[in-house]
Every structure is written in C-alpha cells, then in structure tokens.
Chain A
Amino acid sequence: MRLSDIQNPLAPLFKLKGAERRAAVLLACYFFVALTSVLMVKSLQNAIYLANRGFDWQLPALYIALALLSGPIVILYRYLAGKYSQLVITASTLLSMALGLAAFWVFRERAGDWIYSAFYVWGAIFSVLIPTQGWITSYQLFTPRTAKRVFVVLGTGGILGGVFGGYYTALLAPWLGTSSLFIHVLLLLALLQILLCAVCRLSSSVTRERPPKVTAVETSGERPQAVRAAFQSRHLQYLTGLIILTGLVSTIIDLQFKWSLNAEYRGSEAEIAQFIGAFLGTTYVISAIVQLVATSHILRRFGLGVGLMILPAGLMAGSLGILAFANFWSVVVAKAIDGSLRSSIEQTSVELLYVPVSEQQSIPLKSFLELVALRFGDGLGAAIYLLISFFVITPIQLIGLFVFLAAAVWLFVARQMGEEYAQMLRRSLELVGSRVVQRALDFEEAVAENTPFRALKSENPDKIHFALQQLRVQEDDREVDQLSTSELSGEWISVDVSGTYEASSAPPRWLAFLEPFLDHEDPRVASVALHLMIHYDVKGYRDRLARELRSERIPDIRLLTFLKDYAEDPGDLVEQRLAIKWSKHATPEQAVALAPVLATTRNPAYLPVLRAWVSSPSRPLRRAAIRALGQFTEPEDLDLILEHLSQNWSRRAARKALSHYGEPLVTRLLALLRDPKADIAIKREIPHLLTQLDTSSARGLLVASLYTHDAVVAYRAVLGLNRIRDLQDLSYTQDSFIPLLQIWANEYSGLLNIDTLLHTQKTPAARLLQKAIKERLNWSIEKIFRGLNLFLPHGDAYFSYLGFTSSRQELRENAIELIDSRIKGELRHTLLPIFAELHPFDVVRKGREIFKLPSDPQQALSEAFFHGDPWLKCCTIAVVLEERMEDLKSLVTQACDDINPLVQETARWAVDRWGEDQLPS
C-alpha cells in the first residue's frame, strides 16, 4: 500500500466544487455525530438489558418482534415520504427518537421489566433510522461517479464517529454511570437536526448544478411502489436477498456475542457498557483503518463485486475460528470482523447499490430494505438461533458452522450483485439507444404502409419500380424457373413445378395496368413489369422473349435488364456466338446492360470482352465490366480490379467485384497491407473487403490491421470487427486487446496534448491541424469503445459510448461507471483517465504522467512526424512552416522523401516556401 492510498478518503473532497463540497463536509459531520450517538445508544441498550434481564430466550424473541414491528414503521414511512419533504421526515424522526429516549430515562425506574425490552427495541430502531436519514439525503445529492468517491468520505466520518462514541462511552460509563449517557445522546440529536437543516438548504444548489438523474427504474408519474419494485427489478431482488442474508448472519453472530458477554460479565451494567463501548470503539478503529487504507483502493481497482465479497469471506474465516476454539474470544473475534468490515467497506459498497435507484424510490425502498428486509433477516437469524439453542445447551460450534454456510451463500449473492450493478447501469443507458432504434422502426413501418397501387400512378420511375417490386413480392415469390434454349426452339415450354411460369391462377385485375410499363423508358420498371406479365401470361411473353434472344441484333436494354435481374440462369438463354456478336456492336449503354448478363453465365469465352471494356472511355461501362470480371474470380484480373479501388469513380464497383474472390484475396491483401509503397487509398479499402469476406483468416488480418499507423485503416478495421461480432458470436479475451487499447489511449492522449498546446493559435494552418486532431480524437474515442466492444458483454460498450458522448452529465457518469465496473487491471489504469476526467487539461496531465508526453509545443509537434498518420503529418508541416519553427525544419526536410506522395508534396512545398514572409491566403 502506498501513502497516497492512506490519503485517498480525503482526496475526493478536493475534486468537488462549491455547494457539492460543502454538502459532503456537512454530511460527513452528520455521520460522525450520528454514529457517536448510535454507539452510545447501543452500549446503553445492551448494557441495560443484559444487566437487568440477562440472556435468555426473550432476547432472540425481541429480534423477531423487531422484524414484525418493522412493517408498520415502513408503511408509516412510505406514507410520510409521499406527503412531506425529506426535511420534515428527518426532523420528525429525530424528534420522535429524542422523545422516546427522554421517556425511557424518566420512566425507567418506575416501570416494570417490560421497559427494558421496549428500550431494546427502541435502540434497534434508533441505530438504523439515524444513519439512514443521512444516506437518503446523500443519494439525492450525488451522481453515481461522485458518490463512489464521496461515500468513502461519508463512511469515514461515520467510522470516526463510531470510534469516538465507543471510547467516549467506555470512559464515561464507569465514571459517571449509564444515566449520564442519556443527556449526551439528547444533545447529539439536537446537533444532528442542525446539520441536516444545513444540508437540506444546500441541496437545492447542488441539484440545480446538475441535470436530473437518469435511472433504469422508470417512474410512471404515480408514487412508486417500493415493494413491487423490489420484486420486479432483478437488481433490487438481489439487493433484497443480500440485505436479508446480512441481517441473518449478523444477528446470529450478535446473539452469540451477547450470550458470551452475559456469561463473562454477569449482572454488571457498567462493566458491560464499558466492554461494549471499548469493543465497539476498537472495531471502529479497525474500520477506520480499513476505510482509510483499503476501501477506496479495493473499489476502484477491483470493483463493487469484490467490495461486497470482503465481509462474507471474513465471516467465513471468523466462523472457522469459532469452530476451532469455541471460546469467548473466538466469538469476540468473529464479532469484531463483522463490526469492522460491515461499517467500512460493506457499508460503502451497499450504499453504492442504491445510487442507480431513482430519487422517488430511494426513501421508501431504503426504509423497506433496512426496516423490513434487514429485520426479516434479523428475525430469521434470531429464530434459527432459538432453534439451535433449544436443542443444544452451548451452541457455539453449531453456530460457527451455520455462520460458515450462511456466509458462503452470502458470498455467492454478493458476486452476482456485482454483475447486476453493471446491468443496472447499462439499462439506464439503453433508454438512450432504444429511442434511436424506435425512430428507425417507425420509419420502416411508415414506408410499408405506402400501398403499391398509389405509387403506380406516380411519374417517378423509382416509385413505380418500388410498387412493382411490392406486387412481385406479394405474389408467390418463387425463384424464376430455368428456361433452356432448346425449349425456346419453338415448342411450348414445359416448366418445372415451382410454378412461376405456370398460369395456374387467374390473372389479377391489376395485371392489365402493367402493359404500358413494358415499354417504360426506365429499364428497371420495364423488366419487373415483364417478369410479372410472364408470370401470368406465359405463352405470349415467352414467345417475345425467345424472338429477341435469337436475333442477331442486340436485344433491347429492358430485356437485358430482365435477364440480369430475374433470369436465374441467363447462360442457358443466350447463345455464346450471338452474345459475342452483340458485344462488338453494342453502344456503351447497351454494353452496360449486357455485361452483368455475360457475368452470370461464368463463360470464360466472355472474359476478353469484359477485359476490353475495362479500358473503355465510358466510366459506366468500365464499372460494369469491373463488376462483371469480379464474378469470374480469375486470379489474373485481381490486380486490375484492386487498382480501381484507388479511384473515387470505380471504388464501389471494385469492392463489389472483389467480394466474389473469397479466401484467395486475403493473401493479396496481406501483401498490400505490408507494402509501405502501396497506395494508401487502396490500403484504406482493405478493412471493408476483409469485413465482406468474413473468413477466419480475414478476421485475423482485420485484427492485424488494427495496428496500422493510418488512422483510417485502423478505424475501419475495428468497425469491421464490430460488425462481424454483431452477426456472429466472436469471443475475444480482454488480454488480447490490452496492448492495442493502450496504444490508442496513448494516441488519444498525445493528440489531446498537441491540441491543448495549440488551442490558443488561430492561424489557418493551426486551425487546420486542430480540426484534423479533433477528428482523430473523435475517431480514437470511438475506436477505443469499439475495441472494448470486442470483448465486453454485447452492448455494454455501445451503450456506454452513447452515454459518454451524450451532453447529459448523468448519462456520461453512468457510462463511465459501467466501463469502470467491466475493465480490469492495467487497462483501467490507462483508459479511466481518458473517460473519468472532465476537463481536457486533466486528461492531458494524466497522459503526461502515464505516457511521458512532452509539455513543450515544439516537442509535441515533432511527435506527429513519427506518428505514421500521413494527413496529420501534412497538417503539422503546414504549422511548422507557418510558425517558422527552425528546430523542426530538419524533420520537414526529411519528410521530402516520405513514402506518401501527399506528405512528400507538402514537405517540398514547405521547404520551398520557407524563406517567404507568410503563407499565401
């Protein structure tokens, strides 16, 4: 452990500002005073009861009575929560506690033995309600990320209060007697009221400074039903189970402790109060040490799940001690473990579980869980203790065994709870994503409602085409049958049973409307109309088809389009001799329609024709020829097609063509990726092609592409892998991406470093570099989240990205919290500064620490030269020229020999202009 870990509990205070910090300080004081009073009351409660009643079956029965009493108290609380403000409820609670205490103090000597039982019950309620007021106020004030830091501070305040309260009681009780403690508690209650009033006055400033909380538990506008919510929400079900187990195990240990105490210090009120005071004080000291040294560190490094598992694991160890030694001190040690860990790491972890719950639900829910669930656990534990002690006179070892088993179950539930917390955060972010998806679905539904018949009356050929396609789909959309040339010889065509060309059903009435479309100038419209006509009037239109396809003249473009789109095997319909003849005399427009027909035949006799068309002056024909060549997947055409990836006008056609090549393409793409002289425009297409291929070697190459220097290649590669993962269940481990994510985090920090160093400069080149850097920063963040998406549970990274880039602070914090709960170890150390720091300067400061980034602008700019991103280099060269940075001139000169032609050109330009006064504007 380092010194900074010991200082951690107070450090979060300095990160808070204004009203938030004042509220945190006041609440920490509240918890100090609250726990002081609780420790005093606990000492009083137990000392008075044990000294006057002793330990018998009635004490466990009281725990059961408390469980039964908690129901009415919760109902009262829910009623009050809906009617009155938090301040009114708190004031009423404190006042009623004070009155109860005063009444007991006054009537204690005059009433019968029942008053000790009543006081015991009152004390138990006091111990729960007083700290609860403070926690409820805290949930309303702080966001999840702030809560994680601040709750440690609040918990520390409580622990210090417990230490003080315990030792103060141990000091006072033998000296002044237990009666004096009553006055002290009354004074402390008055102080609590003052503190809470001060916090409530601050709360309006704090919540005004941040937007309303976004939670996964939606409210319907009516008062939320806490009990129903507890059983409907998985998160709350686990939380309820956890609380019940906590109460059960804690009560059994507590009862065993009291049994042992009664046996050790029979009848002495002051001695019992002194021992309990000292014991509780000591456990709180241990708590304080744990809270100071370990809680923050454990929660940040290992997450909430591990934080929740510490106490049950400790109790399992303590119960083994009871099993082994079965004496007073083994029970005291187990109780000490329970006391010290419960009020430190356990308390802090459990309180964090309430933070994703909505404000309206937190009061009734916490009161239900603390007063019903916890008391139910207490009652159950007491009943089990009674049962065990009924059968066994000295039940120590049996109790030890039971505690061990119960703690084991608790450990399991705690582990599940950690996962559920992350799911709860994710659900709060899904609300953003689901609205986007819903809008898209609404649009699709709207389009589907546009009936075909209205569209047929349109003058827009696209609408007509769409309408005809809809009609086609609505009919029996079976595959087009094969029509062989022999069948076209003149005999009636006998068709296969799929029936598309069987006029088996009566033609629909709308068929007559389609006749005019057969001659439509748009070939797509004409071809689908022809397809529909053939479906119902086989004889007439088939004859026409046969005549056209046997002609020496190239068929009409509309017919060629029909063959391309609707004929399953046009190779059987078109004679090779005629096709080659048509190709020689075709106009570019006709050749564009003919090329795909030739391609679908896969007849190698057509390859020379298509290769010749690739050199045609007509770009549409060249594109059609490239796409057609692709379908043949000839290795000798591969380089020709790849070349066309570098041109804007032919890129899509080349992509389409290459999609047919399959696995053999991967080897060629690997060579291109490795070749430093390969055209960067072609390299940038490689991720698209690999994503299309989607074989295991393609995926392997995609992963390798993530490491390229070019920002566009790396970005497209991670995009491709994400798409593949959406479709298939790829499983990557976190470890395989740690180096990559660290590189990207380094890249992000480096870019931000340059940006912050240049941000005041407004010259044209500086603005261009800032623009380029901002674009890269956005890509880097997206790349990092997409990289996380490759191994985190499906959707976690996506929803976190939406939340992180949202303008709403609450969503951003939930997103960071979700990622924080998912990533481990070294990755958290490098990524969290990027996510968690609000201001870019803080991110840069962390980046300089972690990645040793320079703080000098010229040094930072020099790093851009070695970055490998050619466009960034060009922008940097422009800045260096503009500012005449002599120290970097040598790097500009070196860049004149860069492999990338644009970098070369820019560097040479800069060297030529160096002597001039300013850049031309």
Chain B
Amino acid sequence: MLNVIEKVLVLQDLDLFRFAYSEHLALLASICRETEVGNEIILFREGEDCKRFHLLISGEVALETGGEVTESVKQGGLDTWSFFSESPYSCTARAVTECKLLTVSFEEMADLLTAEPEFCWAVLKYLARLGREK
C-alpha cells in the first residue's frame, strides 16, 4: 500500500493537478483510497451515478461509449467532467491491463475543495484550460 508521500509523488505528475500546491496533493493523498484491479475489470459503467473519482496511476484503461472504445487512458482522471459536474458516468471504464488507481468519494473531494479554495482554484484553472483547448 502506498503511503501519503508515495501517493503525492505519483499525483504530482498528473496534469489535472498541474497548478495545485504540493501540500494540497498531500491532503488529497490522505483521503484517497488505493485500489488495484486486474485486466478486463469494469471500473464503472455508463449511466451509473458518479460517486467516486478515479485517478489511474499505472496500467491502461479503455473508455467505451455505446460499446465502442473512444479513448485509452494511461494516467490521470477517468471521466473527470462527469465527476465535477455531478452527472452520471458518460462512459464505461474497463481495465485493459492490471491497473493501480487512487479513488476518492465525491463528498470527501467536495469537502476538500471547499476547505482549500486554492486547491479548488488550481483544479478549476486546469479544467478551464482543458475546455479551451477542446
């Protein structure tokens, strides 16, 4: 199992947290749960309630919409937009290889973002830039 500093060492490389302070990553790491899944395991299905945020730290996950693979993710957040918009999952996530993930519940993430406005701002900044690029 990864400890806080090990999780932070991984989280620092995720684009989503590019603008976040390192100590915010430590706060996030302290509420993240570590999960390991084998290949072909379904992490979540399209249309299900989005209650947890999944951060892929190793392995590969295929995102499928309507049965077709739309994206292959090797690192980072899975279906980030659905999580932050409190919408159901917009795709199905299936592990292509053995994967290691960090997950955090919506409630805990919301509490953290509320308690640490600078962290919220950093995530917002990244999402805004992502939105502009798309």
A916, CB-defined interface residue at 8 Å: no
User: Could you say which of A375-383, A415-423, A871-879 contacts chain B?
Assistant: A871-879
Partner of A909, one of B5, B10, B31, B112: B5
Name which residue of chain B comes closest to A878, CB basis.
B5
Contact across chains for B9 and A902 when beta carbons are under 8 A apart? no
User: Could you say which of B18-26, B41-49, B84-92 contacts chain A?
Assistant: B18-26
B107, CB-defined interface residue at 8 Å: yes
Residues of A within 8 A of B111 (CB): 647-649
Residues of B within 8 A of A905 (CB): 3-5
- In B1-30, which residues have CB < 8 Å from any A CB? 2-6, 8-10, 12-13, 21-23, 26-27
Partner of A874, one of B5, B27, B31, B115: B5
A764, CB-defined interface residue at 8 Å: yes
Also in contact, A648 and B4, with CB within 8 A (given A772-B23, A919-B9): no
How many residue pairs, one in A and one in B, have C-beta atoms under 8 Å apart?
62
Residues of A within 8 A of B108 (CB): 648-649
Also in contact, A648 and B5, with CB within 8 A (given A771-B12, A871-B22, A871-B26): no
B114, CB-defined interface residue at 8 Å: yes
- In A900-916, which residues have CB < 8 Å from any B CB? 902, 905-906, 909
Cα separation A906 to B6 with both chains bound (whole Å): 9
Residues of B within 8 A of A919 (CB): 6, 9
Cα separation A574 to B8 with both chains bound (whole Å): 52
Also in contact, A648 and B112, with CB within 8 A (given A764-B9, A906-B4, A919-B9): yes
Name which residue of chain B comes closest to A767, CB basis.
B12
Partner of A768, one of B8, B31, B114, B115: B8
The smallest beta-carbon distance between B88 and chain A, in angstroms, is 21
Also in contact, A909 and B23, with CB within 8 A (given A648-B112, A649-B107, A764-B9): no
A652, CB-defined interface residue at 8 Å: yes
Contact across chains for B22 and A771 when beta carbons are under 8 A apart? yes
Name which residue of chain B comes closest to A906, CB basis.
B5
The smallest beta-carbon distance between A691 and chain B, in angstroms, is 15
Q: Which of B6, B10, B13 is packed against the most chain A CB atoms within 10 Å?
A: B6
Cα separation A871 to B25 with both chains bound (whole Å): 11
Name which residue of chain B comes closest to A650, CB basis.
B111
Q: Mark A855-898, 1 if CB is under 8 A from B, else 0.
A: 00000000000000001001101100000000000000000000
The smallest beta-carbon distance between A904 and chain B, in angstroms, is 11
Name which residue of chain A comes closest to B5, CB basis.
A906
Cα separation A407 to B31 with both chains bound (whole Å): 72
Q: Mark A542-583, 1 if CB is under 8 A from B, else 0.
A: 000000000000000000000000000000000000000000
The smallest beta-carbon distance between B35 and chain A, in angstroms, is 16
Residues of A within 8 A of B31 (CB): 648
The smallest beta-carbon distance between B116 and chain A, in angstroms, is 8
Cα separation A920 to B3 with both chains bound (whole Å): 11
Cα separation A441 to B10 with both chains bound (whole Å): 42
The smallest beta-carbon distance between A641 and chain B, in angstroms, is 16
Contact across chains for B21 and A775 when beta carbons are under 8 A apart? yes
Contact across chains for B2 and A920 when beta carbons are under 8 A apart? yes
Partner of B22, one of A652, A875, A921: A875
The smallest beta-carbon distance between A218 and chain B, in angstroms, is 33
SS class, residues of chain B in contact with chain A: helix
Cα separation A648 to B22 with both chains bound (whole Å): 17
Residues of B within 8 A of A651 (CB): 115
Name which residue of chain B comes closest to A649, CB basis.
B111
Cα separation A483 to B13 with both chains bound (whole Å): 61
Contact across chains for A871 and B23 when beta carbons are under 8 A apart? yes
Residues of B within 8 A of A902 (CB): 4, 26
Residues of A within 8 A of B2 (CB): 920
The smallest beta-carbon distance between B99 and chain A, in angstroms, is 15
Cα separation A58 to B73 with both chains bound (whole Å): 95
- In B113-134, which residues have CB < 8 Å from any A CB? 114-116
Residues of B within 8 A of A909 (CB): 3, 5-6
Cα separation A649 to B5 with both chains bound (whole Å): 23
Cα separation A905 to B2 with both chains bound (whole Å): 11
A765, CB-defined interface residue at 8 Å: yes
Name which residue of chain A comes closest to B110, CB basis.
A649
Cα separation A771 to B12 with both chains bound (whole Å): 9
Residues of A within 8 A of B9 (CB): 764-765, 768, 878, 919, 921
The smallest beta-carbon distance between B16 and chain A, in angstroms, is 15
Cα separation A877 to B107 with both chains bound (whole Å): 32
Cα separation A877 to B8 with both chains bound (whole Å): 13
Q: Mark A643-670, 1 if CB is under 8 A from B, else 0.
A: 0000111011000000000000000000
Name which residue of chain A comes closest to B23, CB basis.
A871
Q: Which of B5, B12, B27 is packed against the most chain A CB atoms within 10 Å?
A: B5
Residues of A within 8 A of B6 (CB): 909, 919-920
Cα separation A824 to B41 with both chains bound (whole Å): 68
Contact across chains for A775 and B114 when beta carbons are under 8 A apart? no
Residues of A within 8 A of B13 (CB): 764
Cα separation A907 to B115 with both chains bound (whole Å): 27
The smallest beta-carbon distance between B74 and chain A, in angstroms, is 13
Residues of A within 8 A of B10 (CB): 921
Residues of B within 8 A of A647 (CB): 111
Residues of B within 8 A of A768 (CB): 8-9, 12, 22
- In A461-501, which residues have CB < 8 Å from any B CB? none
Contact across chains for B115 and A652 when beta carbons are under 8 A apart? yes
Q: Which of B21, B112, B116 is packed against the most chain A CB atoms within 10 Å?
A: B21
Q: Mark A281-310, 1 if CB is under 8 A from B, else 0.
A: 000000000000000000000000000000
Cα separation A871 to B23 with both chains bound (whole Å): 7
Cα separation A906 to B2 with both chains bound (whole Å): 11
Task: Identify the 9 closest CB pairs spanning chains A and B, nearest first.
Answer: A649-B111, A648-B111, A648-B115, A772-B22, A764-B9, A651-B115, A771-B22, A648-B112, A906-B5
Chain A residues with CB under 8 Å of chain B are 619, 647-649, 651-652, 712, 764-765, 767-768, 771-772, 775, 871, 874-875, 877-878, 902, 905-906, 909, 919-921
Chain B residues with CB under 8 Å of chain A are 2-6, 8-10, 12-13, 21-23, 26-27, 31, 107-108, 111-112, 114-116
**Can you sample 24 A-B contacts with CB below 8 Å?**
A619-B107, A648-B108, A648-B111, A648-B116, A649-B107, A649-B115, A764-B12, A768-B12, A768-B22, A771-B12, A775-B21, A775-B22, A874-B5, A875-B5, A875-B22, A877-B5, A878-B5, A878-B9, A902-B26, A906-B5, A909-B5, A909-B6, A919-B6, A920-B2
Given A648-B111, A878-B5, A919-B6, 13 additional A-B pairs, CB 8 A = A647-B111, A648-B115, A649-B107, A649-B108, A649-B111, A764-B13, A771-B12, A871-B23, A874-B26, A875-B5, A902-B26, A909-B3, A921-B9
